[in-house]
């Protein structure tokens, strides 16, 4: 029922291409898996499936399961990472329809596909795969805190779902473009689907969180960089534990703070104000020094999708001057992003 998987060696085999399932999602931030695959693995995506009531779309063609299969899709990927990682009853008839159309199911939810009786029965009857990527490897050790060879960059954030994965992917690509030996290290379900390997940090038992991060980024050549996808936020009332374990275990030499200008509250926790980028820098250095005394901030990644070009450029230039480090939007690129890359590698 599961794909062949060895997360320690970094390989995972998934049936491709995909059709992206958005369910009845109304919050764009919860559809980050679908958006991530659309943006970073577009050649693997043939379309999307949305249910009644959905207001979020990737902009890909809307195709029923049978048409998706006819277009070459071999798996339906649940493109939603909702609160709690649940697969609600309202989705299940459509998922069974996908199995009947010839598609395997791939999910990165906390709820396991095979634990849902109607999906398990249909998959068994039809000979289809139910593939959960949000499953950590067995026998994760407790962290040692031992300093590892090689160099590491970790993306951290002022909140969830505001660009840590996109920033890490963009920086890893930019490092390689500059001739730097670099690996992107995925720590969440979408990154694992894009990269073909990684460890889903939010599925690891807390005592082993830092140990998993040590496994994710092992010893490397002195000039090699691991660019590690961050999770959550150190000040998030729900997910700070994952962020701290990842910080201690990854031992970053450099971190980049990811932020969405205009966001005022933590995602999914109304009433909790967003933390300032300055406080995240202070906390990351104070806590990160436990396992890497030389940790430093390389700059800031702003998600400016809601702003026009001129407004975004003015804001980032103003904030860069105020903060004393480069501020860039990796999706917009340009000289500001080049400056951020240079600062990280300095």
Q: The CATH number of the domain where 328 resides is what?
A: 3.40.50.300
In a structure prediction context, what are the per-residue pLDDT tens digits for the chain, which is 346 residues long?
A: 444 344 444 456 789 999 999 999 999 888 989 999 999 999 999 999 999 999 999 999 999 999 999 999 999 999 998 877 889 999 999 999 999 999 999 999 989 999 999 999 999 999 999 999 998 989 999 999 999 999 999 999 999 989 999 999 999 999 999 999 999 999 999 999 998 889 999 999 999 999 999 999 999 999 999 999 999 999 999 999 999 999 999 999 999 999 999 999 998 888 999 999 999 999 999 999 999 999 999 999 999 999 999 999 999 999 999 999 999 999 999 999 999 999 999 9
Torsion sign over Cα 251, 195, 188, 254: positive
User: The domain containing residue 35 runs over which residues?
Assistant: 5-132
C-alpha to C-alpha distance for 84 and 259, rounded to whole angstroms: 23
Q: Is 137 part of any domain?
A: no
- Residue 18's Cβ-side half-sphere holds a number of Cα atoms within 13 Å equal to 28
Examine the domain organization and report whether 123 and 166 are in the same domain.
no
Calpha distance 56→20 (Å, rounded): 12
Give the model's pLDDT for residue 6: 44
Q: Are residues 162 and 56 in the same domain?
A: no
CB-based contact 33:82 (threshold 8 Å): no
Q: What are phi and psi for residue 322, nearest 5 degrees?
A: -70, -40
Same domain for 315 and 170: yes
Residue 27: count of CB within 10 angstroms of its CB: 14
Q: Tell whether 206 and 337 lie within a shared domain.
A: yes
Same-domain status, 339 and 195: yes
At which residue do the structure tokens 């501020």 appear?
327
Whether 172 and 209 share a structural domain: yes
Residues 228 and 96 in one domain: no
Query: And the tokens for 165?
Result: 């994965």
Rounded Cα distance between 110 and 295, Å, is 32
Contact, 164 vs 265, CB < 8 A? Answer: no
Q: Are residues 193 and 123 in the same domain?
A: no
Residues 257 and 329 grouped into a single domain: yes
CB-CB contact of 287 with 234 (8 Å) = yes
Does residue 163 lie in a domain region? yes
Beta 254-259 vs 151-157: how paired, if at all? parallel
Q: How many distinct structural domains can be found in the chain? A: 2
CATH number at residue 23: 3.40.50.720
Same domain, 169 and 112: no
Kindly state whether residues 102 and 245 are assigned to the same domain: no
CA-based nearest residue to 156, from 34, 288, 293, 267:
288
Same domain, yes or no: 46 and 164: no
The answer to the question of residue 9 being in a domain is: yes
């Amino acid at each position: 029922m599961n794909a062949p998987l060895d997360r320690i060696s970094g390989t995972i085999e998934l049936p491709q291409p995909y059709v992206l399932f958005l369910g009845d999602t109304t919050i764009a931030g919860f559809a980050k898996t679908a958006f991530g695959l659309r943006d970073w693995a577009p050649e693997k995506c043939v379309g999307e499936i949305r249910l009644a009531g959905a207001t979020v779309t990737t902009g890909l063609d809307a195709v029923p399961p049978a048409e998706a299969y006819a277009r070459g899709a071999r798996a339906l990927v649940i493109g939603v990472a909702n609160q709690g990682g649940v697969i609600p009853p309202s989705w299940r008839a459509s998922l069974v329809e996908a199995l009947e159309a010839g598609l395997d199911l791939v999910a990165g939810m906390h709820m396991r596909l095979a634990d849902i009786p109607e999906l398990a029965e249909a998959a068994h009857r039809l000979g289809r795969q139910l593939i959960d990527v949000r499953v950590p490897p067995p026998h994760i050790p407790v962290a040692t805190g031992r300093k590892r060879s090689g160099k590491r960059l970790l993306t951290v954030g002022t909140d969830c779902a505001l660009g840590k994965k996109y920033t890490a992917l963009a920086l890893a690509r930019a490092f390689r473009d500059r001739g730097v030996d670099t690996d992107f290290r995925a720590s969440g379900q979408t990154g694992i689907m894009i990269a073909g390997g990684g460890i889903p940090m939010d599925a690891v038992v807390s005592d082993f969180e830092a140990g998993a991060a040590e496994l994710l980024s092992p010893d490397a050549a002195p000039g090699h960089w691991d660019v590690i996808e961050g999770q959550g936020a150190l000040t998030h009332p729900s997910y700070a534990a994952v962020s701290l374990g990842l910080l201690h275990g990854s031992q970053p030499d450099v971190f980049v703070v990811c932020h969405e200008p205009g966001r005022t509250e933590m995602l999914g926790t109304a009433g909790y104000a967003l933390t300032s980028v300055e406080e995240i820098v202070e906390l990351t250095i104070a806590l990160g020094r436990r396992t890497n005394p030389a940790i430093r901030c390389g700059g800031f990644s702003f998600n400016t999708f809601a702003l026009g070009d001129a407004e975004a450029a003015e804001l980032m230039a103003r904030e860069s001057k105020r903060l004393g480090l480069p501020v860039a939007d990796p999706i917009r690129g340009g000289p500001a992003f080049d400056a951020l890359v240079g600062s990280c590698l300095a």
